[in-house]
Amino acid sequence: MSRPRIVSLLLLTTAGLGVLYPRPAHAQNPAAAEALFEQARTAMAAGSFDIACARFRDSDKLDPAVGTRFNLADCEERRGRVATAWSLFRGVLSELANDDDRKPIARQRARALEPRLPYVTLSRAADTPPGMRVRIDGIELTEGSFGVALPMDPGAHDLQLLPRDGAANQGSTFALREGEHRELPIRWVSLPSAAGAAADSGGSAPPFSPGGSRRRWAYVTGGVGVAGVAFGAVTGIVALNKKSTVDANCSDAQRVCNQAGVNANESGKTFAALSGIGLGIGVLALAASTYLWLTDVPARPQLAHSSIPLGLGVRMSPNLSWANGASVLAVDGSF
C-alpha cells in the first residue's frame, strides 16, 4: 500500500513565485537529503541562491524527487541561469501526472522563460578541417551540434577547439545576454611552428630575441650615454674656465689679448666642441637605452581566435647645431 501524496505548498514572495514542496518519505539517504532540502529552503529565503541551488542539487542526488527539481528550477531562475531553469521546468513537466497541481505551474514557468533564453549557433568555417570537436564549459560537442540554435545560460562561457590530429587545443571565451541569438563561427588557425618561423627568416636569429636581450643592450647604451654626458659636462666646465681666463687677459674695448688670453681662447673652443659632442652622444645613447628598455616586452602567446595589438612607438629627432663658438643640442621626440 503506497503512502498518500503530501499536498504541495506554494509560497508567494516579493521576488516572485517560490515553489517549495515537502519531500517524499522514501529515499536512499532520507536524513541527509531532508537536511539539505531544509537548509536549501532557508538559503532561498535569505536570498543566498548559489548556496540554495547547490543544496537542492545535492539533496536530489541523495533522494531523486520531482519536487526537489521543481525547487531547483525556481532557484536557478532566481540566480539568472534561465536556460538551466527552463530545462529543469520542462523535465519536471514531463514527469508530473496530468492531475498534479504542479503541472500547470511548471508549464507556465517554462513558457515565461522562453523569450529570455540566449541561443548560440556554432558554424564551421570553410577552411576549418573536418572532424573538429568543440568543448563548451567542459561539455564536448561534435559537428552534429553545428547549425543548431543551442540554448545557454547568460554570461561568460569557455570554448575549446579539439583537433583530431594531436595539435594543441585552441581556446577562447564568449558571452551571452538574455534573449540574444548569436552565431559563433568556428575557425581553426594554423600557427607556425618555431622551426618553420626560423626557416622563413632564413635561419638567422632576430636582432633582439625575447627574454631580456634588448634590456641587456639598454644597459650597454645607457652606460655609454652616462659616460658621454659626464664627458660633456667635464669638458664644458673646462671650457667655462678657459672663458674666464680669456675675460681676464683680453680687453673688449681695445679688442686685444695677451698670449695667455689667445691660448685660452683656442683651447676653450676645442673643449666647447668636445663638450657638445660628448653631450650629444650621451643624450642619444640615453634615448636609445630608453627605447630598448621600453620595447623589451616578453613574447606573449596569442590564441587563434583573437589578436592582441601590442606595440610601442618611439620617435626621437636629435638636432645638434653650433652658434658663436658654442654647441647647442636639442632632442625632439614622442613616446
C-alpha distances in Å from residue 169, one per residue of 136, 160, 172, 188, 195: 13, 6, 10, 10, 20
Q: Where do runs of H (alpha helix) occur along the chain?
A: 30-45, 49-62, 66-78, 82-95, 103-113, 194-200, 213-249, 259-294
pTM (two decimals): 0.49
Whether 91 shows a pLDDT value over 70: the answer reads yes
Q: At what angle do helices 66-78 and 30-45 cross, to 10 degrees?
A: 30
As a whole number of angstroms, the distance between CA 89 and CA 110 comes to 6
* Cell 538551466, located at residue: 84
Whether 274 shows a pLDDT value over 80: the answer reads yes
* Cell 545535492, located at residue: 58
Whether 308 shows a pLDDT value over 50: the answer reads no
| Domains in the chain, CATH or no CATH each | 9-115 (1.25.40.10), 119-186 (2.60.40.1120), 213-297+311-334 (no CATH)
Task: Convert the pLDDT of each residue in 185-226 to its tens digit.
Answer: 887 666 554 444 444 444 444 433 444 566 677 777 778 878
Task: Convert the pLDDT of each residue in 292-304 to its tens digit.
Answer: 767 665 444 433 4
Question: Which whole number is the average pLDDT over 238-262?
Answer: 74
> Could you tell me if 118 and 179 are in contact, meaning their C-beta atoms sit under 8 angstroms apart?
yes
C-alpha distances in Å from residue 272, one per residue of 83, 227, 234, 243, 329: 80, 17, 10, 10, 12
| pLDDT (0 to 100) of residue 165 | 65
